[in-house]
């Protein structure tokens, strides 16, 4: 072709592996990118909560009840507990243990379904509806956003479990399991400041 | 030694798209995706330009009845929303999509299907706004639709919803694009291209993409809050319910100010590439320019309140944001000095791309200076919402981003098409656009100082604004005529331009190492980089490594800081799923204007399409409870 520079082959990449794990893997960085975006979204939603709180004469407004601690406590406990299988699946993925990632992912999926139960009751015991006032709006915003997270993670774990049980698992799929486990940890960690904000900020002010 | 025919055939076989319409719908070739982004955005730029000309016609004489107030409101809203959300940012992403893999000597983006998905969602945003316009549901509250005006009380109907969902479309597209660009730049650099040896262009795209990731969630959040205020009666922005309209402005500008730099920073990448190539010397102050871009990227997040000086915030806050806004002029100024020093100490060639760079420097400095003026809270209080601000923002965005983009278009056109654009007509277009632009927008500074407010559909003759408005209208018409020459030159050169060869300008970076236009696989071997200007290595051959697969799609993954080869990754093949997923997301976005149930139903639909997208094709399990035995 016209004008393409001459080349000199100075080495070969043929001996490189065709997969990697953890931060060496390309998809790991994509996962981090989306965590950064979602984390920013949560941080800004939390900032909106604090902004509206600083503008309000009383928090929660006098007509609203305090958010219930029972179901949110159960949810938070269960979510923290779900981190154990998530971490175990991560170890299995690194060890390329097919049986471990299959059953571990199944346990994570079961946790995902189980989490929806206390989450449902949490909404019912918030003590306010989204259309009552701005306090209600922003509390519902935070809880809906995090529920989207839980549903997404449940969907991803369920589909992944179905695939893992029915197919031969290659290196790229172990990397996928790794990414899903990391994302689960992200979902758990994000909840802690939100929990403090939704349930304890109204009690602290 | 160049790739032999047998290797080319094998690579063609592995990387080519299916033929015809199916290939068009399923392609994951970054060049094709970028090209359709660019064509779509240029068409929209034309439409927005026509709107601008129509508005200038209206303002050319006092008490004009060419437009009524409603049509004028719709015109500037459509013009601003199109240019900011559907032209400027997508064009910069498109340039990154097109150039980043080529400049890395890579065969595709990190996530090829995500790139296709980005385009389809962007197209969804385009169609939402413009089909809405065709159905007379045109947004009419400007490019930032502040509540309470955009809230349910004062904006019944769906004009504001169309605007808000158009943004959701384009921002999801931009966020996907930014993750793609960051991962590509960090993990797919060629061996030897350490961070310290990375061209400014790639730094600019990296930083702009990280800024996108950190700022665009703000606009998605705030438009979602606006829609929920309108659809399900939340009270985020209704003071009667304890909400606050200023919260909207904070969140909007937390995105909106970085957005200006998300548009400008890629332009600094174009300028650095072009100034280097046409000055025929390595860029003066490479590290200073990179550090300037980094500091602009950081400072850009600390300035948003300067868009809100007039809303009555605490004095100390205003003082802080005045200081921060002025501080950003320092790194911007350092960059300008570095480019001038490169030209000064080089052997400049004044071809069209370089002339665009000179036009950029002159125009952007004027825009920067009027920016320093409006950074002062006291002065801004007088100038805000006048034509001075209209002049300033166009000097910054057109002078600071579109002029470099036009130069970049001329510079990389031969690489994309294999043909040169006409230099003579290129210079005619440049003269028309740059001259017409300055004639059109400089008088607006004076009109603003005379007190002419922005966003008025007409004015009485007694104000004395007519002569300057007529000059402005004449300038706009000249600029648009120049734009038509530019487009005609690009179209005619596509068929009749002189063949360009691989490297018509003697460029310094790796995109010039492959043929023009590049084949679907971009480059046959992975280049090895030893310096900042890998193509300027004397007359020595380009060092490369072989060993990447030629029988299937494979790319090289390297380490983040040192670009040491780590492993070879299979690259995604063409797929219809990005389009199907894009349709599912579009259905949810559009339906959620009308019913909140669109969200759960849409989520399910999207989940199904994403499952199809990511379902790996591998043999069935033999062991385990669901195994097939054997």
Q: What is the pLDDT of residue B147?
A: 95
What H or E segment, with its residue span, contains residue B565?
Answer: strand B565-570
Residue B21, in any domain of the structure: no
Sign of CA dihedral B436, B437, B443, B444: positive
Q: What is the pLDDT of residue B303?
A: 86
| A167 closest CB neighbour out of B183, B546, B621 | B621
Query: Average pLDDT, stretch B420-444?
Result: 97
Residues of A in contact with B308 (CB under 8 A): none
Residue B15 has pLDDT above 90, yes or no: yes
Q: CB within 8 A of A32, min separation 6: which ones?
A: none
| B242 closest CB neighbour out of A23, A38, A61 | A61
CATH number at residue B503: 1.20.210.10
DSSP string, B577-612: HHHHHHHHHHHHHHHTTT-TTHHHHHHHHHHHHHHH
Can you read off the two tokens belonging to residue B165?
């969902």
**Residue A162: Cβ-neighbour burial (10 angstroms; 0-12, 13-18, 19+):** middle
Which of these, B80, B51, B78, lies nearest to B67 by C-alpha position? B51
What H or E segment, with its residue span, contains residue B567?
Answer: strand B565-570
* Enclosing domain of residue B340: 5-16+28-574
pLDDT band, very low/low/confident/very high, at A3 (cuts 50, 70, 90):
confident
Q: Testing the interface with A: which of B235, B238, B620 to mutate, by most A Cβ within 10 A? A: B235
Q: Do the chains contact at A168 and B183, CB–CB below 8 Å?
A: no
Q: What is the pLDDT of residue A2?
A: 54
pLDDT in tens, A71-90: 999 999 999 999 999 999 99
Residue B320, in any domain of the structure: yes
pLDDT in tens, B94-124: 999 999 999 999 999 999 999 999 999 999 9
Q: What is the pLDDT of residue B190?
A: 98
What H or E segment, with its residue span, contains residue B456?
Answer: none
Query: Average pLDDT, stretch B197-216?
Result: 97
Residues of B in contact with A146 (CB under 8 A): none
Q: What is the dihedral of CA B303, B304, B305, B310, to 10 degrees?
A: 120
**What's the rounded Cα separation, in Å, for the pair A122 and B558?**
46
Sign of CA dihedral B145, B146, B147, B149: negative
The shortest C-alpha distance from B192 to chain A (Å) reads 12
**What's the rounded Cα separation, in Å, for the pair B500 and B47?**
31
Alpha-carbon distances, residue B322 vs B305, B318, B384, B385 (angstroms): 9, 6, 14, 18
> According to DSSP H, which parts of A56-97 are helical?
70-94
Q: Which of A116-120, B304-308, B413-417, B531-535 has the lowest mean pLDDT?
A: B304-308
Residues of B in contact with A29 (CB under 8 A): 110, 182-183, 186-187
> According to DSSP H, which parts of B188-233 are helical?
200-231
Residues of A in contact with B603 (CB under 8 A): 148, 151
SS3 B270: helix
Q: What is the pLDDT of residue B99?
A: 98
Q: What is the pLDDT of residue B616?
A: 84
The shortest C-alpha distance from A73 to chain B (Å) reads 26
Q: Do the chains contact at A155 and B607, CB–CB below 8 Å?
A: yes
**What's the rounded Cα separation, in Å, for the pair B63 and B460?**
6
pLDDT in tens, B153-200: 999 999 999 999 999 999 999 999 999 999 999 999 999 999 999 999
Residue B506 falls in which region: left (phi positive, over 0), alpha (psi -120 to 50) or beta: left
**What's the rounded Cα separation, in Å, for the pair B234 and B222?**
13
**Per-residue exposure over A32-67, b if at least 16 CB sit within 10 Å of its own CB, e if not:** bbbbbbbbbbbebbbbbbebbbeebeebbbeebeeb
Residues of A in contact with B514 (CB under 8 A): 4
**Residue ranges of the domains in chain A?**
77-205
What H or E segment, with its residue span, contains residue B372?
Answer: helix B352-375
Please give the order of strands across the beta sheet that includes B542-546: A7-12, B542-546, B526-527
**What's the rounded Cα separation, in Å, for the pair B488 and B530?**
40
Q: Do the chains contact at B569 and A10, CB–CB below 8 Å?
A: no
Query: Average pLDDT, stretch A140-154?
Result: 96
Residue B623 has pLDDT above 80, yes or no: no
The shortest C-alpha distance from B444 to chain A (Å) reads 36
Size of chain B, expressed as the number of residues it contains: 630
Residues of A in contact with B614 (CB under 8 A): 159
pLDDT in tens, B255-275: 999 999 999 999 999 999 999
pLDDT in tens, B466-515: 999 999 999 999 999 999 999 999 999 999 999 999 999 999 999 999 99
Question: HSE on the CB side for B126, CA within 13 Å?
Answer: 25
Q: Testing the interface with B: which of A22, A31, A129, A134 to mutate, by most B Cβ within 10 A? A: A134
**Per-residue exposure over B130-146, b if at least 16 CB sit within 10 Å of its own CB, e if not:** bebbeeebbbbbbbbbb
End-to-end CA gap in chain A? 72
Q: How many CB pairs under 8 A join A and B?
A: 229
The shortest C-alpha distance from B144 to chain A (Å) reads 19
Tell me, yes or no, if A105 comes closer than 8 A to chain B by beta carbon.
no
Q: What is the number of structural domains in chain B?
A: 1
Can you read off the two tokens belonging to residue B170?
């384009």
Q: Do the chains contact at B546 and A13, CB–CB below 8 Å?
A: yes
| B621 closest CB neighbour out of A7, A20, A165 | A165
Evaluate whether B297 touches B207 at the Cβ level (below 8 Å): yes
Q: What is the pLDDT of residue B625?
A: 75
Q: What is the pLDDT of residue B592?
A: 93
Which of these, B243, B154, B235, lies nearest to A131 by C-alpha position? B235
Residue B104, in any domain of the structure: yes
**Residue whose tokens read 């919260």:** B247
Q: Do the chains contact at B225 and A19, CB–CB below 8 Å?
A: no
Q: Do the chains contact at B618 and A10, CB–CB below 8 Å?
A: no
**pTM for this model (two decimals):** 0.96
Residues of B in contact with A13 (CB under 8 A): 526, 545-548, 556, 565, 568
Evaluate whether B40 touches B126 at the Cβ level (below 8 Å): yes
Can you read off the two tokens belonging to residue B381?
């209080």
**HEC profile of A41-60:** HHHHHHHHHHHHHHHCCCCC
The shortest C-alpha distance from A123 to chain B (Å) reads 16
What DSSP state is assigned to residue B232?
S
Query: Average pLDDT, stretch B56-78?
Result: 96
Q: Long-range contacts of range A161-165, CB-CB < 8 Å, 24 or more positions apart?
A: A161/A102, A161/A105, A161/A106, A161/A108, A161/A109, A163/B615, A163/B616, A164/A98, A164/A101, A164/A102, A164/A105, A165/A102, A165/A106, A165/B621, A165/B624, A165/B625, A165/B626
Q: Could you give the ipTM of this predicted complex?
A: 0.95
Residue B624 has pLDDT above 80, yes or no: no
The shortest C-alpha distance from A71 to chain B (Å) reads 23
pLDDT band, very low/low/confident/very high, at B629 (cuts 50, 70, 90):
low
Give the mean pLDDT of chain A: 95
Q: Long-range contacts of range B584-589, CB-CB < 8 Å, 24 or more positions apart?
A: B584/B608, B584/B609, B585/B121, B585/B124, B585/B172, B586/B120, B586/B121, B586/B124, B586/B169, B589/B124, B589/B128, B589/B165, B589/B168, B589/B169
Query: Across B3-83, where does the E strand assignment appear?
Result: none
| A6 closest CB neighbour out of B247, B541, B547 | B541
Query: Average pLDDT, stretch B388-407?
Result: 96
Residue B604, in any domain of the structure: no
Q: What is the pLDDT of residue A203?
A: 94
Residue B628, in any domain of the structure: no
CATH code linked to domain A77-205 = 1.20.120.80
Residue B1 has pLDDT above 70, yes or no: no
SS3 B511: helix
Residue B630 has pLDDT above 50, yes or no: no
């Amino acid at each position: 072709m016209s004008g393409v520079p001459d080349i000199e082959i100075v080495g070969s990449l043929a001996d490189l592996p065709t997969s990697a794990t953890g931060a060496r893997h390309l998809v790991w960085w994509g996962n981090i990118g989306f965590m950064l975006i979602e984390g920013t979204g949560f941080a800004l939603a939390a900032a909106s909560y604090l902004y509206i709180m600083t503008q309000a004469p009383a928090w929660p407004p006098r007509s609203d009840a305090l958010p219930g601690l029972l179901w949110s406590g159960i949810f938070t406990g269960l979510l923290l507990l779900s981190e154990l299988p998530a971490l175990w699946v991560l170890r299995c993925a690194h060890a390329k243990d097919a049986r471990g990632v299959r059953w571990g992912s199944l346990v994570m999926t079961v946790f995902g379904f189980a989490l929806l139960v206390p989450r449902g009751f949490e909404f019912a015991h918030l003590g306010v509806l989204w259309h009552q006032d701005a306090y209600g709006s922003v509390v519902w915003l935070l809880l809906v956003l995090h529920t989207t997270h839980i549903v997404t993670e449940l969907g991803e774990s369920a589909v992944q479990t179905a695939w893992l049980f029915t197919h031969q698992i290659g290196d790229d799929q172990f990397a996928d399991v790794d990414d899903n486990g990391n994302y689960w940890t992200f979902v758990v960690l994000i909840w802690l400041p939100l929990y403090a904000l939704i349930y304890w900020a109204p009690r602290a002010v | 030694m160049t790739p032999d025919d047998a290797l080319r055939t094998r690579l063609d076989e592995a990387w080519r798209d299916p033929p015809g319409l199916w290939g068009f719908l399923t392609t994951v070739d970054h060049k094709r995706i970028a090209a359709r982004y660019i064509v779509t955005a240029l068409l929209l730029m034309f439409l927005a330009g026509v709107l601008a000309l129509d508005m200038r016609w209206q303002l050319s004489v006092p008490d004009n009845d060419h437009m009524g107030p409603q049509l004028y409101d719709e015109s500037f809203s459509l013009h601003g929303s199109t240019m900011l959300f559907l032209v400027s940012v997508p064009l910069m992403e498109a340039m990154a999509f097109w150039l980043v893999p080529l400049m890395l000597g890579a065969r595709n983006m990190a996530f090829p299907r995500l790139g296709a998905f980005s385009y389809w969602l962007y197209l969804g945003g385009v169609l939402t706004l413009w089909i809405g316009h065709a159905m007379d549901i045109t947004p009419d509250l400007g490019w930032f639709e502040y509540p309470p005006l955009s809230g349910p009380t004062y904006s019944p109907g769906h004009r504001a919803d169309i605007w808000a969902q158009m943004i959701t479309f384009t921002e999801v597209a931009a966020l996907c694009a930014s993750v793609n660009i960051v991962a590509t730049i960090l993990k797919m650099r060629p061996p030897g291209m350490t961070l310290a040896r990375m061209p400014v262009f790639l730094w600019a795209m990296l930083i702009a993409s990280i800024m996108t990731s950190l700022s665009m969630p703000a606009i998605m959040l705030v438009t979602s809050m606006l829609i929920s205020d309108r659809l399900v009666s939340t009270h985020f922005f209704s003071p009667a319910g304890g909400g606050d309209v200023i919260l909207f402005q904070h969140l909007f500008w937390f995105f909106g100010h970085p957005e200006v730099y998300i548009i400008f920073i890629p332009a600094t990448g174009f300028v650095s590439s072009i100034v280097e190539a046409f000055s025929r010397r390595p860029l003066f102050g490479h590290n200073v320019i990179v550090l300037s871009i980094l500091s602009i990227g950081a400072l850009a997040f600390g300035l948003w309140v300067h868009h809100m000086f007039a809303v009555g915030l605490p004095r100390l806050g205003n003082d802080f944001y005045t200081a921060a806004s002025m501080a950003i002029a320092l790194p911007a100024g350092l960059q300008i000095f570095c480019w001038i020093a490169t030209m000064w100490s080089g052997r400049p060639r004044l071809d069209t791309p370089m002339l665009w760079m000179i036009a950029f420097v002159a125009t952007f400095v004027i825009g920067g200076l009027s920016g320093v003026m409006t950074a002062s809270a006291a002065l801004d209080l007088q100038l805000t919402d006048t034509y001075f601000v209209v002049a300033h923002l166009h000097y910054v965005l057109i002078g600071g981003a579109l002029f470099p983009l036009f130069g970049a278009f001329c510079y990389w056109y031969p690489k994309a098409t294999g043909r040169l654009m006409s230099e003579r007509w290129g210079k005619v277009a440049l003269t028309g656009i740059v001259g017409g632009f300055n004639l059109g927008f400089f008088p607006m500074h004076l009109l603003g100082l005379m007190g002419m407010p922005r966003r008025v559909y007409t004015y009485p003759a007694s104000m004395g604004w007519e002569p300057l408005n007529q000059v402005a209208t004449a300038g706009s018409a000249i600029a648009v005529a120049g734009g038509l020459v530019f487009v005609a030159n690009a179209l005619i050169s596509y068929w009749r331009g002189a063949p360009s060869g691989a490297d018509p300008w003697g460029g310094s970076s790796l995109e010039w190492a492959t043929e023009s236009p590049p084949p679907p696989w971009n480059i046959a071997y992975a280049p090895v980089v030893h310096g900042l200007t890998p193509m300027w290595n004397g007359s020595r051959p380009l060092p490369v490594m072989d060993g990447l697969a030629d029988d299937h799609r494979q790319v090289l993954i390297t380490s983040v800081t040192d670009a040491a080869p780590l492993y070879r990754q299979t690259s995604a093949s063409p797929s219809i799923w990005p389009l199907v997923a894009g349709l599912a997301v579009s259905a949810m976005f559009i339906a959620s204007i009308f019913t909140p149930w669109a969200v759960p139903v849409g989520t399910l639909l999207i989940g199904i399409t994403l499952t199809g997208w990511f379902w790996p094709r591998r043999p069935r399990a033999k062991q385990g409870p669901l195994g097939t035995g054997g």
